[in-house]
Structure 1
Amino acid sequence: MYHREMIAPTSKGGPLALPDWAWQRPELRLALKTRDIGALLRSVQQYTGASQSRIAVAVGVLQGRVSEIVRGSRTVTTLELFERIADGLEMPDDARMLLGLAPRHPAGLDHLSASGRAEILAVYPSQSSARAEIQQRANEATAVEILAVRGLGIIGMNDSLLRSRIRQRTTTVRVLLLDPDGEAARRRADEIGETYGSFAAGIRLSIERLRDLATEGADIEVHVYNILPTWRLIGLDATLFLSAFGESHEGHTSPMYKLTGSPHGALHRGFHRFTDELRRTARRVV
């Protein structure tokens, strides 16, 4: 049972903590999922009794800006401000992930060595949970590396994860897709219950869409490989976002790991070596 009494706000600065039960309220979770920060801050006021000035101190923005957000006359769109709000409200990890942010304390990493934890910066439930951070990093990246099957949701279509950001910037892009004419494509289509014809057509469509980018002047290379896909990778400079394909599910629905290089770690170096070798043996089509 949830308690509705308001927690008296402290007059001091620093983070503003909501009671644990408040983060489970349906209206607050809906606000997180839809990134409606105005509704979120109104809930903060309801469950803590905090003034707009107190919220402003907690999240590190001007009180006038908080007022605009609460009234709905200003929306929050930058990853930096989402992070600042999450930190200022001491948002628990499940709430952070609903908002599309990485958890502060990813589950399942406690058993790793220090070098392993240094490489794995975050674990997301799926690509959609990492979408905001991937796009933010893509805005700043000078090199993009993609390992996928069809790649339509990553870069192939106009509303895909990275296409608009790559079109707007001078970025080196290297893409590895499954060979639509290879035996591995037939095996993958069978695994996920698609006809080979429609499955291969999706890959060919993505290749043509990437060829359009090259025609427009993008610095892009596309290769096709012919092994059964296991890993799905988005590399943005030195940061890798990694997920896996299963026998019955696509890579974007699996948990996604955020990796970075570590002096004594093997994962980051290993995946770079894997993609370099895969590209060496693949066939260039764009």
Structure 2
Amino acid sequence: MPDGARHLMGLAAAHDARNGGKTFDLSEFPEVVHVYAQQTAASEDIKQLAALARELDVLAVRGLGLIGLKDSLLRSSLARPAEQQGPRVRILLLDPESLAGGVTLSETRLRELSGVCDLQVYRYDMRPTWRVIRVDDTMFVSTFDADWEGHESATYKVMEAPQGPLYRGFQRMFEAMLKEGSRVV
């Protein structure tokens, strides 16, 4: 993996720049168009895109703050005027065997949305690493770590670009998890 890509993912460079290695140049990765310190800094950008979205994919642990609760980040974007069709929404939540209370509450709240948009909710059972919000051709990606939750992590705004590995990689991961997941709504 090139050092620039390693740096974007929070990994150490393969070659130390002090030893003549190539330095990181963001222009080599035109997919990453903005980096926010936390998800809250990206929230207005996410809401604006979601309000007009045709498709919305979410990969989260519980999803309560993203879409499950009435005052969550994305929920208000799904209710649209009767003449405007709601988006197709696909949500991946951690299997509640791993984190029972929050996931089942989120599933209950998400069932309420099935009347206002084409909603699909799935459970996945792998250890959460990434948090992904895809709004049409824009993704907001953050990570889970032992020291922080996904919303506390730096959030990367990633746009689909020709030959761009990040957008396609995250989209492929989401589709594979969806295929392996169990549909609950």
Partner of 1:114: 27
Partner of 1:66: none
1:123, distance to aligned residue in structure 2 (A): 0.1
SS at match of 2:72: coil
Give structure 1 stretches of 5+ with no counterpart. 1-107, 186-198
1:150, distance to aligned residue in structure 2 (A): 0.2
Partner of 1:70: none
Q: Which has the higher contact order (CA 8 A, sep 6+)?
A: 2
Counterpart CA distance in 2 for 1:179 and 1:237 is 26
The reply to whether residue 205 of structure 1 matches residue 105 of structure 2 is yes
Counterpart CA distance in 1 for 2:27 and 2:96 is 41
Given that residues 142 and 150 in structure 2 are in contact (C-alpha distance below 8 angstroms), is that contact kept between their aligned partners in structure 1? yes
Counterpart CA distance in 2 for 1:170 and 1:211 is 15
1:113, distance to aligned residue in structure 2 (A): 5.8
Given that residues 31 and 167 in structure 2 are in contact (C-alpha distance below 8 angstroms), is that contact kept between their aligned partners in structure 1? yes
TM-score norm. by structure 1 comes to 0.54
Q: Identify which of 92, 104, 125 aligns with 2:37.
A: 125
Q: Which amino acid aligns with 2:50?
A: A
Given that residues 231 and 243 in structure 1 are in contact (C-alpha distance below 8 angstroms), is that contact kept between their aligned partners in structure 2? yes
Partner of 2:147: 248
C-alpha distance after superposition, 1:130-173 (max 9, x if no partner): 11111011111110000000000000001000101112261110
Q: Which amino acid aligns with 1:229?
A: P
Given that residues 115 and 265 in structure 1 are in contact (C-alpha distance below 8 angstroms), is that contact kept between their aligned partners in structure 2? no
1:115, distance to aligned residue in structure 2 (A): 4.2
The reply to whether residue 225 of structure 1 matches residue 124 of structure 2 is yes
1:249, distance to aligned residue in structure 2 (A): 1.5
The reply to whether residue 136 of structure 1 matches residue 48 of structure 2 is yes
Partner of 1:26: none
RMSD: 1.6
Counterpart CA distance in 2 for 1:222 and 1:248 is 28
Distance 1:200 1:285, change over 3 A: same
Counterpart CA distance in 2 for 1:255 and 1:178 is 21
Alignment of 1:1-286 (within 5 A): 111-112=24-25, 114-116=27-29, 118-168=30-80, 170-181=86-97, 185=98, 199-214=99-114, 216-286=115-185
TM-score norm. by structure 2 comes to 0.83
Counterpart CA distance in 2 for 1:167 and 1:154 is 15
Q: Which amino acid aligns with 1:153?
A: G
Given that residues 245 and 251 in structure 1 are in contact (C-alpha distance below 8 angstroms), is that contact kept between their aligned partners in structure 2? yes
Distance 1:131 1:260, change over 3 A: same
1:200, distance to aligned residue in structure 2 (A): 1.4
Q: Which amino acid aligns with 2:101?
A: A
Count of residue pairs brought into register by the alignment: 161
Partner of 2:14: none
1:112, distance to aligned residue in structure 2 (A): 3.5
4+ residue runs of structure 1 moved beyond 4 angstroms?
none
Give structure 2 stretches of 5+ with no counterpart. 1-6, 9-22
Counterpart CA distance in 1 for 2:140 and 2:102 is 23
1:264, distance to aligned residue in structure 2 (A): 2.2
Q: Give percent identity, aligned residues only.
A: 43
